[in-house]
Structure 1
Amino acid sequence: MRPYPDRAAMATRFASVRAALEAASVRGRLAGYCYEFLLFGFKQAWACLFGGLMLALLLGTHFLYPADAPFHRYDFLTVGAVAIQIAMLALRLETPREAVVIGAFHIVGTIMELFKTAVGSWIYPEGSVLHIGAVPLFSGFMYAAVGSYIARIWRIFDFHFPGYPPQWATILLATAIYGNFFAHHWLPDIRLALFLAALLLFARTWVVFTPWRTPRRMPLLVGFFLVALFIWFAENIGTFANAWAYPSQRTGWHMVSLAKLGSWYLLMIISFVLVSMLHRTAVRSDTVPEPA
């Protein structure tokens, strides 16, 4: 059974648009499938709104920001990210609960950034005033964009998760993954064991989502991979825009290694578990719909 939508979610500007689109009458099986596919894409784009605006800001400032501006580009990005967040709340494009998710991800991401830049995993090549250590404050919003997407997509597609494991086990796995991001610099890297643990834990878990009128399903592990893949694409855009750089990119930009997909996959698990803790709705369900 789907959780009853909260009043804050129903008060967003998207609620009326979503209701109108879902109430549309389409004749013919093929036309229905095409409409559902387009509606799926529209909802995905809406869920990506915060992340999409951040990427647009990165690219726009990369090409257009004046080199002699008195205000550092990174500081402009920080102010711009805060302005986007305030505007989305003021215009009811986002719920207060989703803003809480963004704040939590900003904190978790900034802590990781402080450590990773200190050990040289990546660098921020431009100057800034609004920073902590070597980390400009806009960087936390890149992690927040992931949290925003998960929280919004959860609501927009009415997610539920048959076969979801006990929450304590998912929290334990997410904690181990987060810890390994730090500890592998001194201790053996256990990410292969973490991949195996994720496979065992979520092997029977489905994500059930409703693009239009018919619930669809997908193995949750496949969903993690697809989102991680698109984050990898976004990371390539970010490094191209000189928002940050890996050591191998100091002499010139090139695409981020596909090996980073594994890191993003594990980060997706952390992100999903964190959103599930903040979402306040049950993630477990006893039924899996049959394919339409």
Structure 2
Amino acid sequence: MQTEQSKGAGAKTQRRTYAQSFLQLLHFGYQQAMSCIFPVAIFGTLAVSKWIDVPFIHRYDLILLVLIIVQYLMYRSRLETLDEIKVICVFHIIGLMLELYKVHMGSWSYPEPGYTKWLGVPLYSGFMYASVASYMCQVWRRLKMDMSGWPGMVPAVVLGAAIYANFFTHHFIPDFRWLLMALVPVVFWKTWIWYTVRTTTYRMPLTAAFLLVGFFIWLAENIATYFGAWKYPNQQETWQLVGFGKISSWFLLVIISVIIVAQLKHVKANRSK
């Protein structure tokens, strides 16, 4: 029969376990929040610029200027490294190319005026894709992330290129997104992502991480469209919730992001050996 002393010791151990779990959750949340500084800066700028007019400058031009300043300050304060800035620039170019094509095809639009618009696309729009790269780089470093079972450069790059190409080609040939999504767990079925919270290391299937990040980007997209970052055709008259089907698009975009970041990390690690 359990004594009062043993019951008290068990309760104390349980409270200590709960306290440790809570500390782990707080630390994880803090590192996630610090990794989201640039995305938060984007949403904050979108929100403020929607409700407050700044004289002598168009809203899209102001957003671009603010985001360039934020990136400069993050680099100068060492919140981002030079390598991370390079990755962000790559994603800015990739995103801008996709934006130019999608706006041309009528998928969405940027109706407000601006001097820094090119073919109907404001240059700040590339930063919205770059913010995903910023988050990836930051969280990778802060949580000491690593991967096991990486499929290798050829399968990963071929899949990433096919996903990116499908964003363009589905306008005039069949959309292969569901086939590509089905290939993701096949290509990455052995791949686990490892991350460390304080002194404890955890792991998660990489495909599950893709889904989680894609879902949260979809939530962020709803916030962005609400604040007028861009408008889908069904949002021209009044704001509406972005369709759940867009989660699949973000899921695929996150895969491209992870493939590029992981491949660059792998190349850099090999060079340092």
* TM-score of the aligned structures, taking structure 2 as reference length: 0.91
- Give distance in 2, aligned partners of 1:155 and 1:163: 19
Please say if residues 161 and 283 of structure 1, whose CA atoms lie closer than 8 Å, have aligned partners that are also in contact.
no
2:163 corresponds to which letter in structure 1? I
What is the 5 A alignment of 1:47-126? 47-66=35-54, 69-126=55-112
What is the 5 A alignment of 1:266-277? 266-277=252-263
Deviation >4 Å, runs of 4+: 280-284
Matched residue, 1:148: 134
Residues 283, 259 of structure 1: alpha-carbon distance in 2 compared, 3 angstrom cutoff: farther
Q: Which runs of 5+ in 2 are unaligned?
A: 1-14
Offset of residue 167 of structure 1: 1.8
| Greater helix content | 2
Matched residue, 1:46: 34
Matched position secondary structure for 2:194: strand
- Give distance in 2, aligned partners of 1:158 and 1:253: 39
Is residue 166 from structure 1 mapped to residue 149 from structure 2 by the alignment?
no
Matched residue, 2:166: 180
Please say if residues 151 and 279 of structure 1, whose CA atoms lie closer than 8 Å, have aligned partners that are also in contact.
no
Query: Which stretch of structure 1 is more off in the superposition, 155-164 or 230-239?
Result: 155-164
Please say if residues 184 and 190 of structure 1, whose CA atoms lie closer than 8 Å, have aligned partners that are also in contact.
yes
Q: Which runs of 5+ in 1 are unaligned?
A: 1-26, 285-292
Matched residue, 1:256: 242
Offset of residue 113 of structure 1: 0.5
Please say if residues 48 and 149 of structure 1, whose CA atoms lie closer than 8 Å, have aligned partners that are also in contact.
yes
Offset of residue 80 of structure 1: 0.6
* TM-score of the aligned structures, taking structure 1 as reference length: 0.85
Matched residue, 1:21: none
1:64 corresponds to which letter in structure 2? I
Q: More relative contact order in 1 or in 2 (CA 8 Å, sep 6+)?
A: 1
Offset of residue 48 of structure 1: 0.7
Matched position secondary structure for 1:182: helix
What is the 5 A alignment of 1:175-254? 175-254=161-240
2:181 corresponds to which letter in structure 1? F
Q: Deviations over 1:46-76 (max 9, x none)?
A: 111111111111111112224xx22100000
- Give distance in 2, aligned partners of 1:254 and 1:122: 14
| Two-structure CA RMSD over aligned residues (Å) | 1.5
1:47 corresponds to which letter in structure 2? S
